[in-house]
Amino acid sequence: MSRNAMLDAWVSEVAALCGPERVHWCDGSKAEYDAMIRVMIQTGTAVPLADDTRPGSVLVRSHPADVARVEDRTYICSTNKDDAGPTNNWMAPAEMKATLTELFRGSMAGRTMYVIPYSMGPIGSPIANIGVELTDSPYVVANMHIMTRVGSAVLDVLGDGGFVRGLHSVGAPLGANDPDSPWPHNLEHKYICHFPETREIWSFGSGYGGNALLGKKCHALRIASVQARDEGWLAEHMLILKLTNPEGRVHYITGAFPSACGKTNLAMLTPTIPGWKVETIGDDIAWMKIGRDGRLRAINPEAGFFGVAPGTSEATNANAMGSLTGNAIFTNCAMTEDGDVWWEQMTDEAPEGATDWLRRPWSRGTARKAAHPNARFTVPARQCPVIAPEWEDPEGVPIDAILFGGRRTSTVPLVTEAFDWTHGTFMGATAGSETTAAAVGAVGQLRRDPMAMLPFCGYNMADYWNHWLTFEQRTSPAKLPRVYFVNWFLKGPDGKFLWPGYGENSRVLKWIVERVEGTAEAVDTPIGRVPAPGALDIDGLQLADGALERLLDVDIEGWLNEVPLIRDHFAKFGDRLPTSLAARADDLERSLLVAQE
């Protein structure tokens, strides 16, 4: 029990509905975490890894039908359908709760209901927020221990205040003599439902990732985005990095990128420019509030990394690999003969004699994948070799620049600076990315993903853009971060990437902070400002002949073709679309036509 009457009453109400065998209040201790790992090992959910390889780590393998977020079963249940907007699935709150109540009835029979009080952000931070998740999954408890701050200290800060309510069940009740499954879930029914007006999350049937770890996308983005709108701050799908130049001057940058666009790699970048240093504040989510100094100050609300494993290697992200030396939970990876994990591209040479994520024998040359494409690692952020000392500063860090990005093989230059905050909002609102083989839809198809929030905005996205626009009135425009659009994925006529990416992206970051400091030159174009000739540091970089010119070129014809696509995108939002964004589309077309003459 707690000292919060609302919490105690809710826990009692849910226990009566779900019928668990017992109720356990999580205290956040290491002993509790270790107990969850033992339970998972005993039930066959987890396999311990070799202590001499990755001490304190386990491999978990889910059911093949429960391997990723289920966006088609994710709902925003606002009272008014238009408040959810055209990018979200919607159902009326009363109707959805009636359906879910019957599914939850008796759903935890034979299981323990865990009460997880958690803080998104450092406990007690003015930017942090408290939630409580009720779940019947030890896997969820263990992951929440890593991804959030869990336990009694959270209840002390909560006192008798309000909190985000998260109810989760795998939907697999047990009879008195029923054996448990290594991965309990519900094949027939999966719902991930958000009730933004009452700050509730109800999740049923899935035990995987963001479907079940309700502090992550559900609370930290979908519910928090609504809280941020109501309270005057921003909850964003953004990395936060700290960049220090050779003279010791520090700048903080956030960045929003859709999947497969190098977000985690940028957050943990190893710069190739001598004397420059990148440290990590966060790799996925940023909460930003206007501080006493009038600047946007950001925290990483998470305490861990829940990263995609395939493609992560010493070559692509050595600092992520350095985080994974122990105390990690790996999900749906392969297992090697010597008791380690493996996934595609982790090493130059695949192992012999491994076991794939479906527990089948797997060896080098096998056609099928060893790890699931969405295989994950969960690891404490404090283990990152380049975690910044101030990553848990309760006041947050002052943001100098915001990056938007996407995977575009043509049209969009390497880097573009917005003219002003409204133009930067326009850039984010029209951001898109070409799909890869790992995404739903045809390869190379342009998918608009505004601010990388398409799956995560908890209300009408046109209202969300309007909320962004209000920040010019909330503080001095001069104190707002500068906004940039970056694109590492331009290709030349031969189909090869023009820019080497990875550590070389530090050259773009250098130009950005030099713009913030007022020392780098830029050229005005119809789409924004691009680096002036000689302003981008390419010293020692071997680029193909003409590559830099193509990287910074503004393709007038390509952008004229883009304008009607932008208007089609905006048309989905009808009268809710901010008029200033529609005006920016008109301004863009006029500027392009003038440049074409």
- Cα 205 from Cα 188, distance rounded (Å): 8
Over the Cα atoms of the chain, what is R_g? 24
d(CA 399, CA 123): 21
Gap between the Cα atoms of 388 and 299, Å rounded: 12
Neighbouring CB atoms inside 10 A of 593's CB total 13
Q: What is the DSSP letter of 217?
A: I
Return the DSSP state at 72: G
Strand arrangement, sheet containing 482-486: 277-282, 239-244, 250-256, 401-405, 482-486, 415-417, 528-531, 522-525
Query: CA 64: distance to chain centroid?
Result: 23
C-alpha dihedral sign at 451, 122, 196, 305: positive
Q: Which residues of 337-352 are buried (b: 16+ CB within 10 A; e: fewer)?
A: eebbbbbbebeeebbe
Under a CB-based contact definition with an 8 Å cutoff, are residues 342 and 362 in contact? no
Q: Say if residues 417 and 427 touch (Cβ distance below 8 Å).
A: no
Q: Is 158 within 8 Å of 8 (Cβ atoms)?
A: no
Catalytic residue annotation? 261
Strands (E), 211-285: 234-236, 239-244, 250-256, 277-282
CA distances from 122 to 107, 131, 209, 568 (A): 33, 13, 22, 41
Distance from C-alpha of 351 to C-alpha of 108, rounded to nearest angstrom? 40
Neighbouring CB atoms inside 10 A of 504's CB total: 18
Residue 323: name the closest of 264, 382, 262 by CA. Answer: 382
